[in-house]
Amino acid sequence: MSQKPISPLRRRMIEDMTVRNFVEKTRDDYIRHVETFTAFLGRSPGTATPEDLRLFQLHQSKTGVRPPTINGSVAALRFFFTVTLDRGGMARHLTFVREPRKVPVVLSPEEVTLLLEAAPGPKYKAALSAAYGAGLRVSEVVSLKVCDVDSKRMLLRIEQGKGRKCCAQHLRPYVFAKFMLRRR
């Protein structure tokens, strides 16, 4: 399988992201957003003007691109112009799009009970209890270990959570009791 040659500009951007310890998904997303901008532009993104950036954002809005995707493009292009090209003045021409916050769905106690009863075994019930009771992400639940449970303070230690940060999450007494029963 032959690989396409990488342009010096792309290679530099990848190196800049690697030096800053960006995770692979972020690197791939940033490259994809810069590729999209390049396709829109029809020439090297290094030659872009503030008007090109404005027209690109206008194009995204008119074609129905959702705010999270537009904001991903803004973050990627800000990084590209500020770090890779050292043209920080270009970044101020990029605007983040506000998206209205949605009210989260909160399950009733009966719905939570049904959810936990639907789990195929005690391990899954414990994982779902911890996830829902402490508001954890899937990746955080998957990486939990027994040593992460602080039973005296009813805390779960989360290592390498979102943004590779560590934190502690409180467990509600009811969820903590269920979680501890499942461990035995």
Q: Residue 120 above 60 pLDDT?
A: yes
Q: pLDDT tens-digit profile of 91-110?
A: 999 999 998 888 878 888 88
Q: Say which residue the tokens 């194009």 belong to.
A: 59
- Strands of 155-158's sheet in order across: 149-150, 155-158, 167-170
Q: Residue 114 above 90 pLDDT?
A: no
Domains of the chain: 8-91 (1.10.150.130), 109-183 (1.10.443.10)
Q: Residue 181 — very low, low, confident or very high, per pLDDT cuts 50/70/90?
A: low
Q: Residue 182 — very low, low, confident or very high, per pLDDT cuts 50/70/90?
A: low
Q: Residue 178 above 70 pLDDT?
A: no
Q: Say which residue the tokens 């075994």 belong to.
A: 121
| Ramachandran angles phi, psi of 148, nearest 5° | -80, -5
Q: Residue 173 above 70 pLDDT?
A: no
127/142 Cα distance (integer angstroms): 8
Q: Residue 166 — very low, low, confident or very high, per pLDDT cuts 50/70/90?
A: low
Q: Say which residue the tokens 């009863």 belong to.
A: 117
Q: pLDDT tens-digit profile of 19-65?
A: 999 999 999 999 999 999 999 999 999 999 999 999 999 999 999 99
